[in-house]
Amino acid sequence: MPVHRATAFAPATVANVGPGFDVFGFALDKPGDTVEAWRIEKKGVRLVEVTGDDGKLTRETDKNVASAVAGRMLRGAAAKFGVAVSLHKGLPLGSGLGSSSASAVAAALAVNAILDRPYAQDELLEFARYGEKVACGAAHVDNVAPALYGGFVVIVRQDPPEVVRLQCPKGWRAVVVHPHFELSTRRARAVLPRTVPLSRVTANVAGAAAAVAAVMGGDLASLGRALTREAIVTRARAGLIPGFKEVGEAAMAAGAAGFSISGAGPSIFALTDGDRRATLVGAKMVAAWRRLGIAADLYVSRVGAPGARLLGDKRS
């Protein structure tokens, strides 16, 4: 029996991760986006509903990430039916938590189920990457890959994507704090230097190498140091995020191993061990922003949680 209706969830992700600009990313447990897809008689894609975005996302079928991904997948599979799609945003927009990637990956997973799974996981990565391009203009995989695969990923190459998947120790926690202001990826990209002095390249390479060794060796303190020392991207972007210094220092004072900007920001994440410490670190980070008059949401998660998954499907 073919699948008539499928629901998929894809998690928020932290990309860049200090020295791993455009290279590292890891999945969070939550928040995340959910996409429902079901068969319809009329060929093509119908975007039925978008919830949770306060009406901010486009409803145009070929511009909305979820329906754009669905359309491309349908065309690729030469389906004899159409697909209706509903997108439920659990992820804040413009937060630096991989909002468009979560929508793209959830859509890819749900629509693949509807089509009776013609596509392998690596092909789903390509479709999700297309969704990222529709949303942002750039087909980066540093949010898409961890949202799909889960874990802590190293993007060895963007095109064609080559991804190494690592697992972090189970007790590690990402404390992610999302302040209530938006920072466009475009603006965050605009402040990046176009060229970098060679000495600083070496420092970044060393930091990234140390970070991988720390993840694989289970050395949280070393990973934390590698994050916090990054001096190309974080330095350029910190000025765009009021409170970056204060929130990071609050995290460190509460015992975090390190902190940095999540993706293009403005969310900030800190790394620590165990739920108890994570709760304390999170409270201090939120309080630091509150002192600056900025409200913020707190998410505590494993570092490198599982990736996207089907929540259910219905055969007829």
Interacting span for its own copies (CB under 8 A) from 178-186, 187-195, 241-249, 304-312: 187-195
What gap in Å lies between CA 196 and CA 130, rounded to an integer?
Answer: 29
Decide if residue 190 touches its own copies (CB under 8 A).
no
Q: How far is the CB of 166 from its own copies (least distance, A)?
A: 7
Decide if residue 274 touches its own copies (CB under 8 A).
no
Which of 65, 226, 288, 308 lies at the binding interface for its own copies (CB under 8 A)? 226
Which of 120, 138, 190, 192 lies at the binding interface for its own copies (CB under 8 A)? 192
Q: Any residues with CB less than 8 A from the CB of 245 and at least 6 apart, and which? A: 238
Decide if residue 231 touches its own copies (CB under 8 A).
no
Decide if residue 32 touches its own copies (CB under 8 A).
no
What gap in Å lies between CA 7 and CA 26, rounded to an integer?
Answer: 23
Which of 27, 208, 256, 300 lies at the binding interface for its own copies (CB under 8 A)? 208
Please state, as a whole number, how many other Cβ atoms lie within 10 Å of the Cβ of residue 272.
Answer: 28
Q: How far is the CB of 151 from its own copies (least distance, A)?
A: 12
Compare residues 117 and 157 and give the one whose CB is closer to its own copies. Answer: 157
Q: How far is the CB of 266 from its own copies (least distance, A)?
A: 21
In single-letter form, the type of residue at position 7 comes to T
Decide if residue 251 touches its own copies (CB under 8 A).
no
Q: How many residues bind its own copies (CB under 8 A)?
A: 37
Distance of CA 169 to the CA centre of its chain: 20
DSSP run (H or E) holding 240: none
132 is catalytic: yes
What gap in Å lies between CA 84 and CA 146, rounded to an integer?
Answer: 26
Decide if residue 78 touches its own copies (CB under 8 A).
no
The SS3 call for residue 208 is helix
Q: Determine which one of 132, 228, 230, 272 is catalytic.
A: 132
Q: How far is the CB of 199 from its own copies (least distance, A)?
A: 9
Interacting span for its own copies (CB under 8 A) from 25-33, 42-50, 204-212, 291-299: 204-212
Cα angle for residues 151, 166, 282 (degrees, 5° grid): 50
Q: How far is the CB of 79 from its own copies (least distance, A)?
A: 36
Contact positions with its own copies (CB under 8 A) in 130-159: 154-157
Decide if residue 213 touches its own copies (CB under 8 A).
yes
Q: Contact 313/6 with Cβ under 8 angstroms?
A: yes
- Could you tell me the CA-to-CA distances from 208 to 46, 102, 211, 236 in Å, in that order? 43, 25, 5, 18
7 is catalytic: no
Interacting span for its own copies (CB under 8 A) from 86-94, 108-116, 173-181, 213-221: 213-221
Compare residues 194 and 315 and give the one whose CB is closer to its own copies. Answer: 194
Distance of CA 174 to the CA centre of its chain: 13
Q: Any residues with CB less than 8 A from the CB of 117 and at least 6 apart, and which? A: none
What gap in Å lies between CA 63 and CA 69, rounded to an integer?
Answer: 9
What gap in Å lies between CA 152 and CA 174, rounded to an integer?
Answer: 12
Catalytic residues: 132, 185
Q: Which residues bind its own copies (CB under 8 A)?
A: 19-24, 154-157, 164, 166, 192-198, 201-202, 204-213, 216-217, 222, 225-226, 232
